[in-house]
Amino acid sequence: MQWFYDLSTRAKIIFSFGLMLILLAIIIVTAYTSITAIKGAQRELVQSGFQSVLDLVEIRSHQNHTRAEMIEMTITSDRSKLQAMAQDIKERTSNINQNVKALMELKKGDHKFITKLQELADTREAYRKTVEEEISLIFKGKNEEARTLGVGDQDNRYNRIRDITYELGKAEEESARQRILQSDQMAKTAALVFLIVGASAFVFCIVVTIVLNKAIAKPLTEITGIAERIAAGELDINVPSTTRKDEVGLLILMFRRMVDNIKGYALTTGQIAAGNLISTVAPKSEKDVMGNALAIMGSNLREITREIIEGVNVLASSSSEIMASTNQVASGASETAVAVSETSSTVEEVKQTAMVSSQKARNVADAAQKSVLVAQVGRRSVEESIVGMGRIQSQMEAIAESIVRLSEQSQTIGEIIATVNDLAEQSNLLAVNAAIEAAKAGEQGKGFAVVAQEVKSLAQQSKEATAQVRTILNDIQKATNAAVMATEQGNKAVEDGVRQSKEAGEAIRQMGESIDESAQAAVQIATSSQQQLTGMDQVALAMENIRQASEQNVTGMRQVEITVQGLHDLGQKLKDLVGRYTV
Amino acid sequence: MNETDVERQRVLKARAAVLAREPEKSGAEGERIEIIEFLLADERYAIESVYIGEVYPLKNFTPLPCTPAFVLGVINMRGKILSVVDLRIFFDLPNRGLSDLNKVIILHDGGMEFGILADAIIAARWISRSSLFSSLPTLTEIRAEYLLGVTKERLVVLDGGKILSGPDIVVHEEV
């Protein structure tokens, strides 16, 4: 039996199932041959035996019908009926011929049967010819002759045909019965063979099953139990050794190795857990997931522990520094509290200042309002002065007009004076002429000469008077011209005055606007300084809050100091803890 | 007002002086002649009144062509056409600026009759012939020729007869 155990499992299974398949094939072949034989026998029975009997019965039937119709024809005179019957006889004759031909085909090998059938065919041929003669006689109306022809030989022929068919039918029935018996026998034999082969296959199957169970299933069950214990974490197990060389043997061998490996890894993991990080794990291969993982884990743990140690050292020193910083911050917070107190007092002072400036701004706003009123008064005055200047201008114009008129009139006076002067001149001439005339008159003209002399004197006087008037008129004209010039200048001065007063009005208006703006600005300043005051109040409040906050800061810093002390202690503790690990 | 008073005083004094002037003694010193005193180019001249028809204001004179420069033109005096002579040019007197020249003295001696220009007619007065001095040596030739004499007051008395009959003043000109 050792050779069987040494076979590989696949070979075992193929061997066992191969045997089973062979048995199954034997059964199938046996069954198939038996069934085929029975089926062939049955088909033969049906084809030759059964069919031939049916054909014979049909032939007989047709023959009987033909005979009956012939007899009927001899006694019938109806032409159409005769026609139909003749047609029917013809059809039946061809049917009989067909049946005979089929039988000939069916029973080709059976000499005895063929000989008989040939005899039947011959007889039938003779019978058919006679029938045709009869029919032609009947159609000719010779019924009696046809009847005569129908008895005797024809009767014999009919009987002969019937006998042959009977005989042949009986022989066929007999042979069919024989064949059924044979077929029964064959079926019995096949069933027996079937039974024997099936039973042997059944027995073989049971044997194979038992053997396979013993060879494969039992050791697998044992290994499963071991695996279950390993799965539960148990590693202190002895896997039994085996000399088997099949898959089961290999499986047990590998299982042993696996358990050994796991034991080795467990040992290493235990060392690592105990803090010995120096031991390394050599993975069995590239694909040794656990070994690789353990190796990486070891190195990672070493790395991490090293970093943790460094981190803890840093943490310890940092916590020391934080402690120092916290002390500084605490002192800073105290200073801040002091500074905030100082700032609060400063804010109070600023508030006072803002209050004063607000008061001042209000005063300025009031003053600006007054200035606005003053500027309005000034503007009104300037407008009035502009109107006055306009009046002066118009009066100056009137004066200038008067003076111009005066000048014109003095011109007229000058003309009049010229005329008077001319008159005096003429009078003078007249006086001279009168004197000449008086001289011409001699002694008598002397008195006239005196008159002429007087006239001349008058003329002289009037001339002198006109000269004086002209002098005066010249003075008047000069004065008039001066007055014209003066009025002209006065006009210009008045125009300048109007322009300047307009400019002054504009200036005062702009000044008024400026003062308005300043007044508004002063009001805004007053409002702003009021807001500033409010803002300063808020700032003071905020400073108070800040002061409280800084005091809280100081308190908080003290708490932080305590916390940092705790942190420092923690760092020392961590340092001790990490010291346990050997890297 | 004061000035006016002073002026008035002056005028009155001048009149008083004129009135207080002693009239010329007649007869004793010989023949007395009446002269008409006139102004010409700021100088005082006089002509015997016997040669004077009348004095007349110069107006509407018509310049005559083709006449010597001293002939100013002709005037229409009450229907008579008279030529007017400018003695300044005739006597070659220096031109001393503008003058009135708006009087005409009509000279006549029964034959000739023409006018001479004068700036102003001053007066008619009597003088004695003996009071006349002979011509001054400074006077130019042509003036000396037509001069009657010069008075103490440096009044140049022209000889009307000579002027009227003088050959120089007659114009014979053909064009």
More confident residue, B141 or A386: A386
Helix (H) or strand (E) holding B153: none
Other beta carbons less than 10 A from residue B85's beta carbon = 22
B14 close to A (CB below 8 A): no
Estimate the share of chain A in helix, then strand, then coil, as percent rounded to the nearest 5.
90, 0, 10
Inter-chain residue contact A436 with B121, CB threshold 8 Å: no
A232 close to A243: Cβ distance less than 8 angstroms: no
In angstroms, the CA A368 to CA A362 distance is 10
In angstroms, the CA B156 to CA B46 distance is 6
A429 close to B (CB below 8 A): yes
Out of B11, B49, B103, whose CB is closest to A436? B49
Other beta carbons less than 10 A from residue B90's beta carbon = 21
Is the complex ipTM higher than 0.90?
A: no
A242 close to A249: Cβ distance less than 8 angstroms: yes
In angstroms, the CA A180 to CA A163 distance is 26
What pLDDT does B9 receive? 92
B57 close to A (CB below 8 A): yes
Q: CA-based angle A393:A399:A401, to the nearest 5?
A: 105
**Sign of the C-alpha dihedral computed for residues A545, A549, A552 and A554 taken in this order:** negative
**Sign of the C-alpha dihedral computed for residues A313, A317, A323 and A326 taken in this order:** negative
Inter-chain residue contact A425 with B124, CB threshold 8 Å: no
In the chain, the amino acid numbered B70 is F
Inter-chain residue contact B124 with A428, CB threshold 8 Å: no
Q: How many residues does chain B have?
A: 175
In angstroms, the CA A512 to CA B34 distance is 93
In the chain, the amino acid numbered A255 is F
In the chain, the amino acid numbered A217 is A
Out of B7, B49, B121, whose CB is closest to A439? B49
SS3 of A107, please?
A: coil
A436 close to B (CB below 8 A): yes
Is a pLDDT exceeding 70 seen at residue B138? no
Residues 6+ apart with CB under 8 A from A460: A424, A428
Q: Which tokens is A243 given?
A: 């000399």
User: Phi first, then psi: what are they for B60, rounded to 5°?
Assistant: 55, 50
Greatest C-alpha distance within chain A: 253
B12 close to A (CB below 8 A): no
Q: Which tokens is A369 given?
A: 């309002």
State the count of interchain CB pairs (< 8 A) between A and B.
36
In angstroms, the CA A298 to CA B173 distance is 169
In angstroms, the CA A320 to CA A316 distance is 6
A431 close to A456: Cβ distance less than 8 angstroms: yes
Out of B56, B103, B124, whose CB is closest to A435? B124
Identify which of A369, A366, A372 has the alpha carbon closest to the alpha carbon of residue A508.
Answer: A372
Q: What is the DSSP letter of A444?
A: G
A304 close to B (CB below 8 A): no
Inter-chain residue contact B103 with A456, CB threshold 8 Å: no
pLDDT, tens only, B66-98: 788 888 888 888 888 888 888 888 877 776 666
Q: CA-based angle A514:A516:A522, to the nearest 5?
A: 100
Confidence of residue B137 (pLDDT cuts 50, 70, 90): low
pLDDT, tens only, B18-71: 888 766 554 445 677 888 888 887 788 888 888 888 888 888 888 888 788 888
Residues of B in contact with A433 (CB under 8 A): 54-55
Inter-chain residue contact B124 with A464, CB threshold 8 Å: no
A297 close to B (CB below 8 A): no
Partners of B124 in the beta sheet?
Answer: B36
In angstroms, the CA A329 to CA A557 distance is 7
Out of B7, B11, B55, whose CB is closest to A432? B55
SS3 of A202, please?
A: helix
B24 close to A (CB below 8 A): no
What pLDDT does B27 receive? 47
Residue among A427, A433, A463 with most chain B CBs within 10 A, to mutate:
A433
Query: How far, CA to CA in Å, does A446 sit from each of A165, A208, A442, A450, A494?
Result: 240, 220, 7, 6, 70
pTM of the model: 0.37
For every one of its 583 residues, what pLDDT tens digit does chain A have, with 9 covering 90 and above?
Answer: 677 777 788 888 888 888 888 888 888 888 888 888 888 878 877 776 778 888 888 888 888 888 888 888 888 778 888 888 888 888 888 888 888 888 888 777 778 888 888 888 888 888 888 888 888 888 887 777 777 877 778 888 888 888 888 888 888 888 888 888 888 888 888 888 888 888 888 888 898 888 888 888 888 888 888 888 888 888 787 777 777 778 888 888 888 888 888 888 888 888 888 877 777 777 778 888 888 888 888 888 888 888 888 888 888 888 888 888 888 888 888 888 888 888 888 888 888 888 888 888 888 888 888 888 888 888 888 888 888 888 888 888 898 888 888 888 888 988 888 898 888 888 888 888 888 888 888 788 878 888 888 888 888 888 888 888 889 888 988 888 888 888 888 888 888 888 888 888 888 888 888 888 888 888 888 888 888 888 888 888 888 888 888 888 888 888 888 888 888 888 888 888 887 777 7
Identify which of A64, A56, A130 has the alpha carbon closest to the alpha carbon of residue A100.
Answer: A56
Burial class (CB in 10 A: 0-12, 13-18, 19+), A549: middle
User: What angle, rounded to 10 degrees, do the helices at A153-212 and A9-44 form?
Assistant: 170
A456 close to B (CB below 8 A): yes
Out of A425, A439, A456, whose CB is closest to B123? A456
SS3 of B61, please?
A: coil
B84 close to B71: Cβ distance less than 8 angstroms: yes
